[in-house]
Chains A and B, each alone.
Chain A
Amino acid sequence: MFSATLITVVAAFAGVSWGILGGALPGISPSITMALLLPLTYSMDPTAAIVMLASTYVGAEYGGSIPAILIRTPGTNAAAATVIDGYAMKQQGRAGEALGISLYSGFVGGLFGLGVLVLLTEPLSTLALAFTPPAYCALGVLGLSVIASLARESLVKGLMAGVIGLMISTVGTDPVTGLSRFTFGSPDLLSGVPAILVMVGLFAVGELLVQSTERGWVQPAPERARIRFPGPALWRRIALPQAIGSVIGTFEGLMPGGGGAVSSFLAYNEARRWSRHKEEFGHGSPEGIAAPEAANNTVACTALVPMLSLGIPSSNSAAVLLGGFLMHGLIPGPMLFVSHAEVVDGLYAGLLAANIAMVIVGYVIMGPCIWLVSRPRPYLTAFIYALVVSGVFAIETSLFHVGLVLAFGVVGFGLRYVQAPLLPMVLGVVLGFMVESNYRRALVLSSGDHMTFLQDPVSAVFLALALLFVLGSVIGHARTRRRQA
């Protein structure tokens, strides 16, 4: 018994460390990080193997926020929302504080997700079945409605960026006919433009290009190379955004589709809506880090609900974990809890260990990470550039993608030049495919009747919410303008 516990703890630590490494490298997604471990786990004890893979997922979801905060490069899709306020805090010399909030919020979200997984798997798996194509489409629309409030600076330019994002999402294989669209016959574009590539191009490469125009830049304020966990006052302030993130992450984990990225954006937006310090968002708000980070670490646990109980992976990462189960002759589904209860219990214990391991490993590596980004600017720029070209190549081992990320760097530079917000474009890319494929699928199933979106209860609720959000944003927009006029 003792040795089994020890193996679980060791597997959790190894998995989390590996996950943080992979998650922190842009282009190495959580699923790739996990997949790289699969061959190793083949010869391991099944429980240890599963724990290690699941811990990698937990570590990777946290790891993605490190470069997002420090070098404006989201390491994973789900860390894109963290870029906004995390990098703003870094520029104010508060990187240690930002990383502390991210780590702490990830831990809270992870524990919440684990609690949900252990206690509520059965009822939630029924809920997962309530999601039909109209409901998915409506969820995507709800996500897109966020654009209206993200684009405060200029609604027109924000919407333009969002539509361009939607256009990017249509590149690749058509979801209904299988035709190749906008691919120019290139197999490299057959599976679409990866969202992470767009994000790294817009944020990281765009930032490098903008920085290169600034002459006589000053060395950033010296960082205290220490991580700082939030004190009691801040603890109270970020409790609400963490709760918002955890709840949104729970539901998002259940559904196939956007994975952690959608939940991060929704959580960011809701945290701002309910915040008493709205004006700080975008300029280094702790809440703007707490909400998305709590959300994506919750997803890392709740994504296991449909995987374990239905045998249906809701994300690429969950699919790799499913592969890990199958390799050991374990077939996820309702019977798993009966036939291999010991593996399931071991996984739960391992996830608890993983969340604790995440805090310990995260704390230890934070100092060196902050030290690294405090190097002289020419070196820093060169190494970020090297990191981007190396990481993006890994997405599909394609040099074409490396060229593409440079092109998106130009787009990012251009958008900043004309003062258009970047996030709407990212949202368009992340949600475009989900909205289009489910919109068309829903119409196929209803034989072209649009009423299906109102007849489906889940869809109707989401669409009503989206409408409320957009109206609220537009009214707020008009009011601000009137005040300024």
Chain B
Amino acid sequence: MRLALLVLAVVALLVSSVAAQARYPKSVVILTTHSSPGGGSDVFLREMAPHLSRVMGITVVVENVAGGSGARAMAMMAKAKPDGGTFYATTPTFIYTSLLSSPAARYTDLEPIVNVFFDPEVLYTAASSRFKTLQQVIDQARGGRGRWGAGNPASLERQALERLKQRAGVSPVVATFEGGGDMLINVLNQTLDMGIGELQEIRGQLDAGRVRLLAVVGDERLMQFPDVGTVKEQGIDLSVRKFRGLAGPKGMPREIVAAWEAAVPKLLADPAYRQLYTRNNLQPGFIPHAEYVKFMSDFGGQTQAFLKQSGVIR
């Protein structure tokens, strides 16, 4: 989406049932996202905000700093005070933007705090297509007759398909689009043999039985679709993890990080919120601070290697 603006929305909430707990130094916490209102990350954060507010006993506000595919939000966050008042909602986009352009601040200028969720990526095809399994799609692609699709040109999804090509030793064409919806049309009308995307994007079609899931591109099967196997189970070593977590300015005090490390597992266990995020097909994926720093630098390194190897960047 190419719109951009900044919206400040104070989430009205009931702080009456605050559980007794260590007090967080800030009463209002702003979560910034590079997603514009109505975009995937924005909807996710706005749904999470009231529950997070309740669990932590603070007011959580969502702020959109769209523009430059995250460059603006990163620059703002790198300059913010590390007082626990503002955080940046991470997705792989901020790593791609850091590597593809030369923004004022890069992902390495931010401190990863904790991870909260993983968005499952799935491979799917039209329900009316003749492909019933991933293997059939790969067989079709042998000899260069396959047509696969990813939502955006330089994205985690594209990277996953390119690696799938390598590991399976096939050479289908990979077409990219202007977003997942655009691609979905081409899966439905069978221009493409197979598409890759977030489960959330294809929910409407999935409910109506018009698309068929072929495989999960992650380490585990999904709880909602226990019959769908992972790519790894089919003998191809491929797994991507689209993360959703928090990052902040460098120099974040230890006790603030600890507060989030305590709060996020509590949030994920909260029954009301659990029902909501399960319905939205999000996988809880808490990663504490120390591991998250490593996770992020590994992710950045792998992405950089992929982009360099394919000649997108130097």
Residues of A within 8 A of B (CB): 29, 31-32, 34-36, 38-40, 42-43, 128-133, 173-180, 183, 185-188, 190-192, 194, 256, 310-313, 316, 319-324, 326-327, 329, 331-336, 394-398, 437, 441, 444-445, 447
Contact = CB atoms under 8 A, between A and B. Distances in A.
Interface stretch (B35-43, B245-253, B287-295): B35-43
Contacts of B37: 35-36, 38-39, 320, 323
Contacts of B188: 129, 310
B182 interface: yes
Given A185-B101, A310-B184, A316-B2, A191 B69 contact: yes
B101 A397 contact: no
B51 interface: no
Interface of B: 1-7, 9, 11-12, 36-39, 42-43, 46-47, 62, 64-69, 71-72, 97, 100-104, 144, 147, 152-155, 158, 173-178, 181-182, 184-186, 188-189, 191-192, 202-205, 207-208, 210, 279, 312
Nearest to A191: B2
Interface centre among A128, A310, A312, A445, by most B CB within 10 Å? A312
B207 A256 contact: no
Contacts of A32: 3-5
7 contacts: A179-B312, A256-B181, A311-B202, A324-B38, A331-B204, A335-B204, A395-B4
Interface centre among A191, A316, A395, by most B CB within 10 Å? A191
Q: 4 smallest A-B Cβ distances: which pairs?
A: A333-B204, A178-B154, A323-B38, A311-B204
Nearest to B201: A311
B72 A187 contact: yes
Contacts of B103: 187
A35 to B, nearest CB: 4
Given A131-B185, A180-B101, A256-B185, A333 B205 contact: yes
Contacts of B43: 323, 326-327
Contacts, number: 192
Nearest to A185: B102
A312 B144 contact: no
A34 B192 CA distance: 33
Nearest to A447: B173
A133 B71 contact: no
Interface centre among B37, B152, B176, by most A CB within 10 Å? B37
Contacts of A34: 38
A396 B185 contact: no
A226 B12 CA distance: 43
Nearest to B2: A191
Given A130-B189, A178-B312, A311 B205 contact: yes
Contacts of A174: 153
A256 B38 contact: no
B104 to A, nearest CB: 8
A173 B43 CA distance: 25
B12 A43 contact: yes
Contacts of B153: 173-178
A38 B47 CA distance: 12
B101 A187 contact: yes
B67 to A, nearest CB: 4
A128 B147 contact: no
A312 B38 contact: no
B101 A38 contact: no
B67 A334 contact: no
A322 B36 CA distance: 13
Contacts of A173: 69, 100, 153-154
A444 B43 CA distance: 33
Given A132-B189, A178-B100, A396-B68, A447 B144 contact: yes
